[in-house]
């Protein structure tokens, strides 16, 4: 009877879990992003403003030192115009010490090929091109006086999941000193808009001011691979 009771107790045991709330804060350099009202400069000293900035994150993984992972299969659209979108909560995360977080910027091939969808992937969010070409992974719009586009517009709509124009990028961020997940845990991630236009390629707005297809898209994607850091 004791063995049976012990077995039942073991089978009914549930490892404790908590939640992790991740806040995404968008910056330009060391300053919080301000839409329309602030003037910024790129690495070449060219001034610009930002009127729209949003991007997809998905396949979020929290990793412990022993290699075990918590994985979320949801997609989230971080939109500077919507404060609520910049805070996401992961539920039922096993308690413990996590040493890194990773996620993709973009939308994987399966979801790109599944047509119009719901929630963050709903076309109402204006991040869906067509069934054939799929999702825009990152959208930045603004103006620069050196732009050759009508109205001096800047227009960076980056997407594409097929080689050689795959713009999905995996972001890996170590968590300094680790993150102890308990009942409620907070994590703050910074996205730096200025990194879109530098390292490894410095973007000259007089030459590249509009990217809305595969031309130059991977160049911008390689730049945004380094856009994130943990605050």
DSSP assignment of 112-127: HTS-S-SGGG-GGGS-
Phi, psi of 123 (to 5 degrees): -60, -20
pLDDT digits (tens, 9 = 90+) for 46-62: 999 999 999 999 999 99
Query: Looking at the DSSP assignment, which residues form a beta bridge with residue 58?
Result: 75, 104
List pLDDT tens digits, range 91-146. Answer: 999 999 999 999 999 999 888 777 667 899 998 999 998 766 789 999 999 999 99
The pLDDT tens digits of the residues spanning 181-227 come to: 988 999 999 999 999 999 999 999 999 999 999 999 999 999 999 99
At 64, list the tokens.
Answer: 């412990």
**Contact (Cβ atoms closer than 8 angstroms) between residue 206 and residue 148:** yes
Identify the band that residue 9 occupies on the pLDDT scale cut at 50, 70 and 90: very low
Domain chopping of the chain, boundaries: 18-230
What is the SS3 assignment for 5?
helix
**Is a pLDDT exceeding 70 seen at residue 4?**
no
């Amino acid at each position: 009877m004791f063995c049976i009771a012990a077995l039942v107790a073991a089978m009914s045991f549930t490892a404790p879990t908590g939640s992790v709330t991740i806040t995404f804060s968008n910056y330009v350099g060391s300053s919080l992003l301000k839409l329309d009202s602030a003037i910024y400069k790129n690495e070449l000293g060219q001034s610009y403003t930002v009127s729209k900035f949003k991007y997809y994150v998905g396949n979020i993984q929290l990793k412990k030192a022993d290699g075990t992972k918590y994985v979320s299969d949801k997609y989230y659209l971080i939109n500077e115009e919507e404060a609520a979108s910049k805070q996401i909560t992961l539920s039922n995360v096993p308690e413990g010490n996590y040493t890194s977080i990773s996620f993709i910027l973009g939308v994987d091939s399966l979801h790109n090929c599944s047509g119009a969808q719901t929630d963050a992937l709903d076309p109402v969010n204006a991040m869906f091109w067509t069934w054939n070409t799929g999702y825009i992974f990152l959208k930045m719009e603004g103006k620069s006086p050196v732009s050759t586009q009508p109205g001096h517009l800047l227009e960076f709509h980056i997407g594409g999941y097929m080689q050689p124009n795959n713009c999905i990028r995996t972001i890996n961020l170590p968590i300094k000193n680790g993150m102890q997940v308990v009942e409620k845990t907070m994590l703050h991630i910074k996205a730096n808009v200025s990194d879109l236009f530098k390292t490894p390629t410095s973007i000259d707005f007089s030459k590249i001011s509009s990217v809305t297809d595969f031309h130059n898209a991977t160049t911008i994607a390689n730049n945004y691979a380094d856009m994130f850091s943990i605050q």
